[in-house]
Structure 1
Amino acid sequence: MATEPQGFSVAGKVALVTGANRGIGKAIVEALVSHGAAKVYLAVRDVHSTAALEQRFGVKVQTVALDLASESALAQLACQCHDVELLVNNAGVAQTCGVLAEDMIATLQRQMEVNVYGLIRMAQAFAPQLQACSGALVQLNSVASLRSNDRFASYCASKAASYSVTQALRKQWLGKVQLLSVHPGPIATDMVGDLGLTSQVSPSDVAEQIIAALHTGQFHLYPDPFSQSLASHYHGYAQAVVEA
């Protein structure tokens, strides 16, 4: 019978981080390098946006173009980055939109395209190599995947869907690829600020907890006080049902 992987060390590994140019993605890159990753691919839409990281880390990082909406582009990316052992799917779109808003469907479609279909395309493109090397996939799912909010209804719906896909991947890859589902609440990033929210939790705190969670082999990670307060009620269900 297949069993859960017993932990994943990032030391000496090759990683790819989507949305690596800012916020949590940038902090994850920094944490991976500091914990001994051999190389980190910086997957971004604007290949000029990672210049500072390239200057700082030199040959430890390599910028690659990312198009989550294109299956063919992601297939080419997987060929280009054929040595990836750790895939961190951090790139996402967050917009405020209520269910009854006139643009709700269009807004939801845009967020599904990136937050859900993007995850599926990335998983499909990198599945062969992740399975071959007993690799790992980290998915940034957000606390919004656990509870909806009337102001962020479209975002919450897309993240709930990405969380569901992550659960399915975990079941399919059990014993082959380690999965980590990360559920942060508001973190001190530009995206959170753009949404009119504030936070005292730094992206580097989240990044360090991701490294630690990979090492221990856990599936769920709630990296901040807000998500942990929600998880205190959800954790029992997650263990008994989602992780069973």
Structure 2
Amino acid sequence: MDVIDSVAIVTGGNRGIGEAFVQAFLAAGAKRVYVGTRTLSNADLLVKEDPERVVAVELDVSKPEQIEAAADKCKDVSVVVNNAGVFHNKRLIGAEDISAATDEMNVNYFGLLNMCRAFAPILKENGGGAIVNVLSGGGLAAVPAMGGYSPSKFAARAASTCIRAELAKQNTHVSSLIVGSVDTRMAAHVAGLKEQPSDIAKVGLRAIKHSIDEVDTDRMAVELRANLARDPKAVERAMARMLDANQISTGR
């Protein structure tokens, strides 16, 4: 589909990759962009840039009632970008409890699923449209140092495939973006070269236009997939060594 005159909702849209998506939609000629944010004031600058086309929506994807309220308000949506995510940097066994892993699953998996469920009927009513799920290299290779985050992204990737199949008949396409290392607050702990959020958004809009099922958005994601194809056990051992080094070399 063409994003010109589309209406998009972007979760976690007030900063990082989400903000880049908002800017990309506006630049591409979208009719309206809903900025999903846990605190409305956090989207003030975006709204001020283009008050005719940018609308802030209170949206914490870990709260189903806020997702339902957003769906009731945003009946004209034709593109859903599931970008909101959380990473607590806790281990699965080493953490004092599973609260961090539970929250990561609630936001990164169930939040995405609930958004898709809430907006699927709206997309159908508006001609089909598209869903873009911003995922992670941590959903391709298990990263022990990322605790519950990596499993939540595995789950979100599998859900994306299932939802794509379910919604194909209503002409709604689901794209999964596999993100490596990006210069965002969530990846502040990651060393090395980082892509810009705007680069990820550009790939996302390309995926919408060309109905791409899954795409690696940056060099790190591309290299990770290649290494997995070449020697998956070597990747597993390398990820395990990060526990001792206390370093994370992939993730969003």
> TM-score scaled to structure 1, two decimals?
0.89
Asked if residue 45 in structure 1 is aligned to residue 38 in structure 2, the reply is: yes
Question: How far off its partner does 1:216 sit?
Answer: 1.1
Report the AA paired with residue 119 of structure 1.
L
Matches within 5 A, 1:96-107: 96-103=89-96, 105-107=98-100
Q: Secondary structure at the match of 2:168?
A: coil
**Unaligned stretches of 5+ residues in structure 1:** 1-7, 237-244
Alpha-carbon displacement from aligned partner over 1:89-126 (angstroms, at most 9, x marks no partner): 10000121223213352211010111111011111111
Match among 227, 233, 237 for residue 221 of structure 2: 227
Matches within 5 A, 1:63-212: 63-103=56-96, 105-132=98-125, 133-175=127-169, 176-193=171-188, 195-212=189-206
Asked if residue 218 in structure 1 is aligned to residue 201 in structure 2, the reply is: no
Paired with 2:5 and 2:103, the residues of 1 have a C-alpha distance of: 36
**Deviating runs (4+, > 4 A) in structure 1?**
233-236
**Unaligned stretches of 5+ residues in structure 2:** 231-252
Paired with 1:60 and 1:49, the residues of 2 have a C-alpha distance of: 17
Q: Indicate the structure whose relative CO is greater, using CA pairs within 8 Å and at least 6 residues apart.
A: 1
Corresponding residue for residue 12 of structure 2: 19
- Higher mean C-alpha deviation, range 43-52 or range 129-138: 129-138
Question: How far off its partner does 1:234 sit?
Answer: 5.9
Number of residue equivalences = 228
Please tell me whether the aligned partners of residues 16 and 86 of structure 1 are also in contact (alpha carbons under 8 angstroms): yes
Corresponding residue for residue 245 of structure 2: none
Question: How far off its partner does 1:221 sit?
Answer: 1.4
Report the AA paired with residue 54 of structure 1.
V
Please tell me whether the aligned partners of residues 17 and 87 of structure 1 are also in contact (alpha carbons under 8 angstroms): yes
> TM-score scaled to structure 2, two decimals?
0.86
Paired with 1:74 and 1:154, the residues of 2 have a C-alpha distance of: 23
Report the AA paired with residue 36 of structure 2.
A
Please tell me whether the aligned partners of residues 187 and 198 of structure 1 are also in contact (alpha carbons under 8 angstroms): no
